[in-house]
Structure 1
Amino acid sequence: MLAMVVSSLCFPMLGVVVRAVRQQDDVFTVMFFSGLLNCIALWTVLLVREKRGAFRTSIPHVHLIRGALGALGATSIVYSMKFVQVDLALTVLMSSPVWSALLARFWLKEELNWATWLAIGLGFCGILIAANPGVEGLNFWVLLILVPAVGISLQNTMMTRYTGFGESPWKWSAFNELGILVSSCLLWFSLERTFVDLESAWLYLLIPAFLLPAVYFVSYAFLNGRASVIAPLGYVQLPTAALYGWLVFEETPENKTYYGALLIILAGLILIRFAPKSKYP
């Protein structure tokens, strides 16, 4: 439980740092240099742990697809974080269990009970409230953050689908970050070719500093604890994100963010409590 709490404290800080660097650097510059540092950190850990086995995989096509999804999601969230408060971004991202349930039904062919469909409906309503639909339409930046939310769900579902191939959590993360780095490098070289200001370079060093413990502790928690107990602790990220946003950017969450977050949290808890177990271990 402590591991999941530590992870939930680290993930929102990633959002804070990305939002900070996006105030001064272009989207592909942020993606390329942060992706480069993340790749160095993750692959160093993977090489130390698995040595030559770090490069072996029996499912390269799966890693390729996950890397492409990761690149699309990273582009969407890095681009939108300049315009969206940290607490609102985390609220929308935490809707991923709702999308995972839909993917389980239509891709993994799992049976969904009434509680699961209720949770899907509540989660969707929470997203609508957070997106603030009105006369002018849905909040574009919230819709853009839905791209990585759905992408994360698809990536996690792929891990569930291919869990029997012996890939470690570090390997899943390292190959995913490699896909983000390659795509962001091509886009950065083609469209921007700008470099990080030396005065703000230290902020980029904070990204892997928070990413590594976040990835390690969430993997440790789920590998060594009960998912039904561990998963709800992920919602600690929502008040943590609100606190970080207030301390760093003096951002105060709007009422709609609170209401949307409550529905999304309720949907996640219903999924954890009542949803049938996956047929994939």
Structure 2
Amino acid sequence: MNDNLRGAGFMVAAMLGFAIEDMLLKRVSAAGLPVGQVLLIFGAGGALVFAALTRRAGQPLWHPAVIGPRMLLKAGFEVMGRLFYTLAIALTPLSTASAILQATPLVVVAGAALIFGEKVGWRRWSAILAGLCGVLVILRPGLEGFNALSLLAVAGLIGFAGRDLATRAAPKVLSNLQLGIYGFLAMVPTGLGLMLWQGGAVWPDAVAWGQLAVAIGFGVFAYWALTVAMRLGEVSAVTPFRYTRLVFALVLGMVVFGERPDLQTILGSGIVVAAGLYTLLRSRKVASQKG
């Protein structure tokens, strides 16, 4: 129980860190810094911080397990998630992108059933389908309010779900700090390629450098706290607290960017969160019955 409570605390702290990171990256992008350059600087800065923390802990920066197929797969999904979600928060409302991202745990459960053969009953499959319908309510395809750029958040959602599934299979010999190095490092070539495609770099002013530095700090903390939460507590007890990220994003979106989510976004968000919580609670009940 103590591990679950501490894990929940780390998860809430991680979600707050991610929400602040998203807000700062959106501000920097809105000020004119290319998204590719933002990813490059953010990834390099985060990798350097994790590398310093790893050396301070007396751990090696390199381990042969890093180039194993599972870690390479994890890196590929990390790149996909980071690239498309960063584009989403730069080009669409923060509240909308964050709301779509809340379906990640549902996709993870579905992926665990389809890929790892975990048994998922009809109740959880129904909740997964309901949650995906909630995403459609937010997207509103075919309706007047549809924004095709919101599909960037869907692509980011798929990338992050794949990363989470790959993390489950990550070699246990790699520490949380080592995983952080390579998680951030994967953004560097992605950001470089996107930056070159966008037409080059722009030298950030002092304000932008400061915002990027703070974003890196919150990003490193959030990444570390998330990894600790997932390894410390039971998945079914800790994962529901992921949804606090939506609350933080909604508040920051309204206060910082003046966003006002419409009724469909709020309704769709409610469906996604309710479906996700039901799925996690049902998973915990099934696990306890097996025990």
Normalising to structure 2: TM-score of the pair? 0.87
> How far apart, in 2, do the equivalents of 1:47 and 1:134 lie?
52
- CA RMSD of the aligned region, Å? 2.0
Which amino acid is the alignment partner of residue 55 of structure 1?
Answer: W
Tell me the equivalent position of 1:168.
175
8 Å contact from structure 2 (residues 13, 225) kept in 1: yes
| Greater shift in the superposed pair: 165-174 or 259-268 | 165-174
> How far apart, in 2, do the equivalents of 1:137 and 1:66 lie?
34
**Percent of aligned pairs with the same amino acid:** 19
Which amino acid is the alignment partner of residue 100 of structure 1?
Answer: V
* Matches for 1:128-139 after TM superposition, within 5 Å: 128-135=136-143, 138-139=146-147
Number of aligned positions between the proteins = 275
Q: 198, 201, 204: which is aligned to 1:194?
A: 201
For 1:28-73, what per-residue CA distance to the aligned partner results, in whole angstroms no more than 9, with x for missing partners? 1111111111111122222222432x31132513222222222222
Is the alpha carbon distance of 1:190 and 1:273 closer, same or farther for their aligned partners in structure 2, counting shifts above 3 Å?
closer
Cα drift, residue 137 of structure 1: 8.5
Which amino acid is the alignment partner of residue 59 of structure 2?
Answer: K
| Greater shift in the superposed pair: 38-47 or 121-130 | 38-47
Are 1:3 and 2:10 an aligned pair? yes
Partner secondary structure for residue 51 of structure 1: coil
8 Å contact from structure 2 (residues 38, 191) kept in 1: no
Which amino acid is the alignment partner of residue 176 of structure 2?
Answer: P
Are 1:256 and 2:271 an aligned pair? no
> How far apart, in 1, do the equivalents of 2:252 and 2:178 lie?
30
Q: 20, 24, 28: which is aligned to 1:21?
A: 28
Which amino acid is the alignment partner of residue 233 of structure 1?
Answer: F
For 1:14-41, what per-residue CA distance to the aligned partner results, in whole angstroms no more than 9, with x for missing partners? 1101111111111211111111111111
Tell me the equivalent position of 2:79.
71
Q: 184, 188, 193: which is aligned to 1:181?
A: 188
8 Å contact from structure 2 (residues 36, 190) kept in 1: no
Tell me the equivalent position of 1:243.
251
Which amino acid is the alignment partner of residue 229 of structure 1?
Answer: A
Cα drift, residue 130 of structure 1: 0.6
Q: Which 5+ residue runs of structure 1 have no aligned equivalent?
A: none
Q: 42, 53, 56: which is aligned to 2:63?
A: 56
For 1:119-162, what per-residue CA distance to the aligned partner results, in whole angstroms no more than 9, with x for missing partners? 11111111000102234695312211111111111111112134
> How far apart, in 1, do the equivalents of 2:28 and 2:184 lie?
19
Are 1:147 and 2:155 an aligned pair? yes
| Greater shift in the superposed pair: 253-262 or 122-131 | 253-262
Normalising to structure 1: TM-score of the pair? 0.90
> How far apart, in 1, do the equivalents of 2:99 and 2:198 lie?
31
> How far apart, in 1, do the equivalents of 2:143 and 2:188 lie?
39
Tell me the equivalent position of 2:5.
none
Tell me the equivalent position of 1:81.
89
Tell me the equivalent position of 1:212.
220
